[in-house]
Amino acid sequence: MKALVLTEKNSLPQFMEREEPALEHEMVLVKLKAASLNHRDIWIMRGQYAGLRYPIVPGSDGAGICEGREVVIQPGSGWGQDERFQAGGYQILGLPQDGTFAEAVAVNRSQVYPKPPHLSMAEAAALPLAGLTAYRVLFSRCKAQLGEKLLVTGTGGGVALFCVQFALHAGLEVYVTSGDDAKIEKVKAMGAHGGVNYKSDSWEAALKQMAGGFDVIIDGAGGAAFSNLLKIANPGARIGIYGGTGGAVPNFSPQAVFWKQLSILGATMGSDKDFASMLDFVNQHKIVPIVDSVFELADGANAFERMQKGLQFGKIVLRIA
């Protein structure tokens, strides 16, 4: 079969022939029609995971045909019995097993779910990992509710955009930050109530003036900006953390946390229950993932380059013939 293969560290993937995956016990083959990129794929290209061995087919997200049915793949497996956290054996498709940037992928039967009927294959492929992460942090962890004020930082990324979409459909009042004014305008066009550029001075004061304060804040960055989030959180607020691209927080105040009775809630990926709930929510509200761009699988190297530049708004999708 054809696949995008990472053959060595720090090199773009090559479109090449790859052996079709073997089916072990309880596995099924999904003939892929579309896949989508995550930052995880870039980090795999850069060799940033322990135990990583090339060549490897990256890709966690995919949609296609399995045993005659249109399906979307839950990228995680082995979450385990406790909804609160993933078990030690938890794995995400694309490392160490070959992933979805190929004509076919082998997954556990339990990872295959019906594709939401209102979505194209490209749209469905955009959904799994980012949608799952967004759903878990926003609803399973932060219990975001109708009428609450939500701030989503770093909008433009996949998880952040799904948080915005899900929250708007759940009836929250949504505000965002971004380093790109054009992205803020796009999110406002989707229905978000306001946003500020985090490169501007006193962005947190501007947000505070705009919204009053936030009941829920979803952040994937951490770093120095995080302390400002504590300041604009309402008493009793929940702050969901799903990433830390900005690094450690240099000056984290316990006082703000205890005095305002804040809850800081970490989340990554999600359980099978989270995934099923997320699909139900997407089906119920007919949510359509935002697709930034679609590349042919053969042109996958260009998709990786676009992802690395960080210019995308929504998900970058690969079409698989």
Residues that bind a copy of itself (CB under 8 A): 82, 84-86, 141, 219, 221-222, 226, 235-236, 241-244, 246, 248-268
Measured N-to-C along each axis, helices 272-285 and 158-169 cross at an angle, to the nearest 10 degrees, of: 60
Minimum distance from CB of 37 to a copy of itself (Å)? 20
Nearest to 133 by CA among 237, 271, 264: 271
Quick check: helix, strand or coil at residue 34?
Answer: strand
Minimum distance from CB of 209 to a copy of itself (Å)? 19
- Start-to-end CA distance of the chain, whole Å, equals 11
Nearest to 99 by CA among 180, 168, 215, 18: 18
Phi, psi of 4 (to 5 degrees): -90, 125
Give the start-end residues of each E strand in 112-186: 112-114, 149-152, 173-178
Q: Which is nearer to a copy of itself, 263 or 293 (CB)?
A: 263
Strand 69-73 to strand 61-66: parallel, antiparallel, or no bridges (unpaired)?
antiparallel
Minimum distance from CB of 3 to a copy of itself (Å)? 29
Q: Which is nearer to a copy of itself, 53 or 84 (CB)?
A: 84
Q: Which is nearer to a copy of itself, 194 or 213 (CB)?
A: 213
Alpha-carbon torsion (109, 114, 120, 124), positive or negative:
negative
Minimum distance from CB of 142 to a copy of itself (Å)? 11
Q: Which is nearer to a copy of itself, 96 or 250 (CB)?
A: 250
Quick check: helix, strand or coil at residue 238?
Answer: strand
**Which residue's entry shows tokens 């260009």?**
302
Q: Which is nearer to a copy of itself, 179 or 246 (CB)?
A: 246
Phi, psi of 185 (to 5 degrees): -65, -40
Q: Which is nearer to a copy of itself, 171 or 250 (CB)?
A: 250
Minimum distance from CB of 246 to a copy of itself (Å)? 8
Nearest to 4 by CA among 45, 39, 43: 45
Minimum distance from CB of 297 to a copy of itself (Å)? 31
Minimum distance from CB of 141 to a copy of itself (Å)? 8
Minimum distance from CB of 281 to a copy of itself (Å)? 20
Q: Which is nearer to a copy of itself, 36 or 133 (CB)?
A: 133
DSSP state for residue 110 in the 8-state scheme: G
Instruction: Please report the DSSP string for 89-128 in residue order.
Output: T-EETTBSS--SSBSEEEEEGGGEEEPPTTS-HHHHHTSH
> How far apart are alpha carbons 41 and 3 in whole angstroms?
14
Minimum distance from CB of 88 to a copy of itself (Å)? 9
Contact assessment for residue 157 and residue 314, using Cβ atoms and an 8 Å cutoff: no
Q: Write out the H or E segment, with its range, that includes residue 191.
A: none
| Alpha helices for 13-170 (secondary structure H) | 39-45, 121-125, 128-135, 158-169
Q: Which is nearer to a copy of itself, 116 or 154 (CB)?
A: 154
Q: Which is nearer to a copy of itself, 260 or 319 (CB)?
A: 260
